[in-house]
């Protein structure tokens, strides 16, 4: 569209410059500029020929429809720009052909759980999964490319607030609501151990202080 308007704008200038008959050149120049100028709503020279006036009427209606349709598409795209929604679940992630994924690898339970899972989604996820040994690099890849970083929630929160957020706490990370295996840790002790009551009281104190949520 821009190329067509550019050609139609330059053509009258060339006609006026190189045509031998100035009136004919000006006539064609006015016609071409009228056709090109009505769409971007520029000032045009009205033609006096009756047939051309009929043509003008239909052309003005056509230009009105084109400009209205263009504005109806332009205004919503400027007011509400398209924002791509990344995969929200592991099923969507493995089904997406435009995303790759990787695990923040600590050689621990998360890798072993995904590797030994019999769930078809996790089997497919393990086959295409990369291993990233740096949490920062894993999250930076998620920001800069179509890459999903699979990481422990606690590690992600720490890295994001420490290395990837501004002084207002804002960050460009999009966190999916889906989670995978819940892998907990606990103390194992002998039944009726004498220090169990002391340990439980200590855990209750940490919960009261807000250091432990479980």
Lookup result for tokens 């050609």: 7
Give the integer Cα–Cα distance in Å for 74 and 30.
29
Whether 171 contacts 160, CB under 8 Å: yes
pLDDT score at 147: 92
Domains contained in the chain, CATH given: 2-79 (no CATH), 90-187 (3.40.190.10)
pLDDT score at 137: 92
Residues 33-61 have pLDDT tens digits of 666 665 665 555 555 655 666 666 677 77
The pLDDT of 54-75, averaged and rounded, is 76
> Mean pLDDT over all residues of the chain?
74
Give the rounded percent of residues in the chain with a pLDDT score beyond 90. Answer: 5
Closest CA to 151 of 114, 97, 98: 114
Is 169 or 26 the better-scoring residue by pLDDT?
169
> For the residues of 52-93, what is the DSSP string, one character each?
HHHHHHHHHHHHHHHHHHHHHHHHHHHHS--------SHHHH
Residues 93-107 have pLDDT tens digits of 888 888 999 998 876
* pTM tops 0.75: no
Evaluate if residue 155 carries a pLDDT over 50. Answer: yes
Least confident of 148-157, 169-178, 200-209: 200-209
Residues 163-201 have pLDDT tens digits of 888 888 888 888 888 877 655 566 666 777 777 777 777
For residue 172, what are the CA distances in angstroms to 10, 29, 47, 139, 143? 46, 53, 57, 10, 7
Evaluate if residue 25 carries a pLDDT over 50. Answer: no
């Amino acid at each position: 569209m821009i190329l067509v308007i550019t050609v139609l704008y330059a053509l009258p200038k060339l006609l006026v410059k190189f045509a031998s008959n100035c009136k004919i050149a000006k006539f064609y120049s006015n016609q071409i500029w009228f056709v090109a100028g009505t769409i971007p709503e520029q000032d045009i020279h009205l033609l006096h020929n009756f047939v051309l006036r009929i043509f003008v009427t239909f052309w003005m209606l056509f230009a009105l429809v084109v400009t209205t349709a263009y504005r109806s598409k332009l205004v919503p795209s400027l007011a509400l720009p398209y924002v791509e929604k990344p995969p929200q679940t592991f099923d969507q992630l493995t089904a997406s052909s435009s995303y790759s994924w990787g695990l923040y690898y600590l050689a621990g339970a998360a890798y072993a759980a995904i590797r030994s899972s019999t769930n078809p989604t996790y089997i497919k996820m393990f086959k295409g999964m990369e291993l990233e040994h740096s949490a920062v690099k894993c999250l930076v890849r998620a920001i800069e490319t179509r890459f999903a970083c699979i990481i422990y929630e606690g590690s992600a929160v720490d890295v994001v607030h420490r290395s990837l957020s501004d002084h207002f706490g804002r960050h460009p990370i999009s966190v999916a609501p889906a989670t995978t295996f819940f892998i907990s840790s606990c103390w194992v002790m002998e039944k009726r151990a004498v220090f169990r009551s002391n340990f439980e009281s200590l855990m209750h104190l940490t919960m009261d202080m807000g250091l432990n949520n479980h």
